[in-house]
């Protein structure tokens, strides 16, 4: 199975960021990613760029590299955030365990009840976020990897006035 994304490129400026010719425009990046919604995240991705512009092979290669670099960097960012979140969830889980152990070792009734509640709350929050958020993060990372390795084709359109 494959997901096909069609892009109508009218100007080269629409392709690149306003601030760097080595980065894809944020509008185009969002468009490409949003076109993947509703499709199976495991699908291979094909990007067709339709244009009437004359683009040399070197420019085409540079544009393909820009798409792959943009989504490759997004994969790196998502993996970094994922690892940080996983670390925080683990710490929260361990804090919950420690609080529950303190509850069973504690002799002060009111304080021990608060510690027990906080302990279970910490464990619940870490387990819930691990189960709920991890699959969403996994799908986003997987989809970005597919975009970073997508096949990109340039389709020349003939001017209808000729």
Domain count, the chain: 1
**86: domain range?**
2-156
7 part of a folded domain: yes
pLDDT digits (tens, 9 = 90+) for 64-104: 999 999 999 999 999 999 999 889 989 999 999 988 888 88
CA distance 98 to 41: 39
161 part of a folded domain: no
Distances (CA, A) of 36 to 1, 61, 89, 123: 13, 23, 29, 34
pLDDT digits (tens, 9 = 90+) for 19-44: 988 889 999 999 999 999 888 889 99
């Amino acid at each position: 199975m494959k997901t096909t994304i069609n892009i109508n490129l009218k100007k080269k400026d629409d392709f690149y960021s306003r601030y760097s010719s080595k980065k894809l425009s944020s509008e185009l990046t969002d468009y490409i990613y949003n076109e993947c919604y509703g499709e199976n995240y495991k699908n291979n991705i094909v990007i067709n760029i339709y244009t009437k512009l004359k683009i040399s092979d070197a420019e085409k290669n540079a544009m393909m590299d820009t798409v792959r670099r943009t989504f490759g960097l997004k994969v790196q960012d998502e993996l970094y955030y994922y690892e940080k979140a996983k670390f925080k969830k683990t710490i929260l889980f361990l804090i919950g365990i420690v609080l529950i152990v303190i509850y069973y070792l504690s002799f002060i009734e009111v304080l021990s009840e608060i510690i027990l509640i906080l302990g279970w709350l910490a464990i619940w929050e870490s387990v819930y976020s691990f189960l709920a958020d991890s699959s969403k993060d996994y799908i986003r990372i997987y989809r970005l990897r597919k975009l970073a390795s997508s096949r990109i084709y340039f389709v020349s359109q003939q001017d209808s006035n000729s």
